[in-house]
Structure 1
Amino acid sequence: MKKIFPLLAIAAFIFGCASVAVTGRKQLNLVSNAEILPMAATQYQEVLQKGPISADEQNTAMIKRVGG
């Protein structure tokens, strides 16, 4: 067991790594995009329900520019 665990950890690290298409950098994916995107959408809707969007045009423009 002591010899298998490091090998499994290395294999998980290697197979969990992926390249980011835009930057070409490596990243470790512990959760797939298919799992994370629905969770993110749900959380975003909860945030919108908790409070109104700011009416300050300068701040909202910056957030839209940075957040996409």
Structure 2
Amino acid sequence: MSRADFHQNNAERARAEAQRLLDQQAALGSRWLAWVATELYQLSPPEYTAMVRRELEQLNRAQQP
């Protein structure tokens, strides 16, 4: 499977996972960053983890005033 195919097949799932992680930020407060790191560490393959990380960064930036 090509990189483009992998991205296309997993983009929606990566966005949903990133949103799930971001949704926990208010509930976890200062523990959120460590929790997110643990959650990302458990994802695989690494290409998918990178996709989720990028989506999380984009969602987080969009929430900033």
- The TM-score bracket by the shorter chain reads 0.3 to 0.5
Structure with bigger helix share is 2
TM-score where L is the length of structure 1: 0.32
Name which one, 1 or 2, has greater alpha-carbon Rg.
1
Q: Please, what TM-score do these two structures have when normalized by structure 2?
A: 0.32
Q: Considering Cα pairs closer than 8 Å and 6+ residues apart, tell me whether 1 or 2 has the greater RCO.
A: 2
Indicate the structure with greater strand content: 1
